[in-house]
Amino acid sequence: FWLCQVMATRPRSDIYVNLPALEKLDDMLLEILDGFQKTEFWYLNDKAHKDSCDDSAPCRPASHRGEERWWLPVPCVTKSGLTEPARRDLRQKHDCASQIHKAAMAINNGILAEIKIPESYTQTLPKCGRASVGDALYRGMSFPGKFSPEYLLDCLEISSEHEALEAADRVEAAMHVWRRKAGHGHARSPWGAVKDLMESDKNVMLASRAEDALLCLKHRFPGLSQTTLDASKIQHNKDVGQAVLESYSRVLESLAYTIVTCIDDVLFADESARKI
């Protein structure tokens, strides 16, 4: 008797793990969106709803965004605000969308970390990390005591996403400069191995602190645009699997953040109406 073994195909590990997770997040977002069929709020450009609104309960448009995200419509609620069940439902949707956003962002960051750094980006890095971050940031990162990325960012007094993106670019560039210096002579070793081998090296300390500051910055500004390095990786990446996972997770991350932002606007309009 001849034995015949059938070889079953299986996706590579990153696709096998991440794709089902992304599809689950996708389904959860669609479920949230489907729950907005009937609402107690509307938008300034929603003429049909506005015209049907009772004159005894005029809309109360309000926004706390200022000049940021000016393209998003301003939500309106009735004079008495939202009912308690509607308010509770919105908060539940907000919490769910926020968790989806964090999960999609974590997957996206992991995928981007695996994509090879393009040579074109490496060639643009300064020779000195201090020149990239500036004297003020460098002093905070090189302080011999306990390092707090939150305190460091507080000192910078970043007030807009534009300033945050500029700071992220500078910190990320410096991080790779220090990693390259720390890894000199260990070119074939991954960063984690180099970090373990040379814990006392100052460049390792600076690179680790820059990474912590970068992560803290991204959490403070969840809607932050892609850094120069991320955009360069996406542009030059030739791995189709990584490209699909990165773009899929980025779209879900953006959609989840938009939902969270829009719900925040509605809750702010509700709170403003109830104060009047």
- At 156 the pLDDT is 85
* Band of pLDDT at residue 57, cut at 50, 70 and 90: very low
Q: What is the mean pLDDT of residues 79-105?
A: 95
The ranges assigned to domains in the chain are 15-98+251-275, 120-223
Among 70-79, 116-125, 149-158, the range scoring the smallest mean pLDDT is 70-79
- At 9 the pLDDT is 74
> Higher pLDDT residue, 197 or 154?
154
- pLDDT per position as a tens digit, 172-189: 999 999 998 887 544 445
- Choose from 50-54, 114-118, 189-193, 197-201 the range with maximum mean pLDDT: 114-118
Tell me the whole-structure pTM to 2 decimals: 0.81
pLDDT > 90: percent of the chain: 59
- At 64 the pLDDT is 61
* Token duo for residue 34: 């489907």
Among 40-54, 104-118, 174-188, 195-209, the range scoring the smallest mean pLDDT is 40-54
Instruction: Tell me how far apart the alpha carbons of residues 178 and 194 are, in angstroms, rounded to a whole number.
Output: 12
Question: How many angstroms from the chain centroid is the CA of residue 197?
Answer: 31
DSSP 17-40: HHHHHHHHHHHHHHHHHHTTSS-S
Enclosing H/E stretch for 155: helix 149-156
Among 97-111, 135-149, 183-197, 233-247, the range scoring the smallest mean pLDDT is 183-197
What is the average pLDDT value for the chain, to the nearest integer? 85
* Token duo for residue 48: 């049909």
DSSP 114-142: HSPPPHHHHTTS-S-HHHHH-HHHHHHHH
**DSSP category for residue 221:** S
Please, are residues 51 and 244 in contact by the beta-carbon 8 Å criterion?
Answer: no
Enclosing H/E stretch for 242: helix 240-275
According to the CATH classification, is domain 120-223 in 1.20.58.1310?
yes
- pLDDT per position as a tens digit, 22-42: 999 999 999 999 999 989 999
> Higher pLDDT residue, 116 or 6?
116
Please, are residues 272 and 76 in contact by the beta-carbon 8 Å criterion?
Answer: no
**DSSP category for residue 64:** S
Among 83-97, 133-147, 196-210, the range scoring the smallest mean pLDDT is 196-210
Q: What is the mean pLDDT of residues 185-212?
A: 67
Enclosing H/E stretch for 41: strand 41-43
Residue 50: CB partners within 8 Å, gap ≥ 6?
Answer: 42, 44, 59, 76
Instruction: Tell me how far apart the alpha carbons of residues 270 and 264 are, in angstroms, rounded to a whole number.
Output: 10
Among 46, 82, 67, 64, which Cα is nearest to 261's? 64
Instruction: Tell me how far apart the alpha carbons of residues 92 and 206 are, in angstroms, rounded to a whole number.
Output: 40
Q: What is the mean pLDDT of residues 121-131?
A: 92
Instruction: Tell me how far apart the alpha carbons of residues 215 and 152 are, in angstroms, rounded to a whole number.
Output: 13
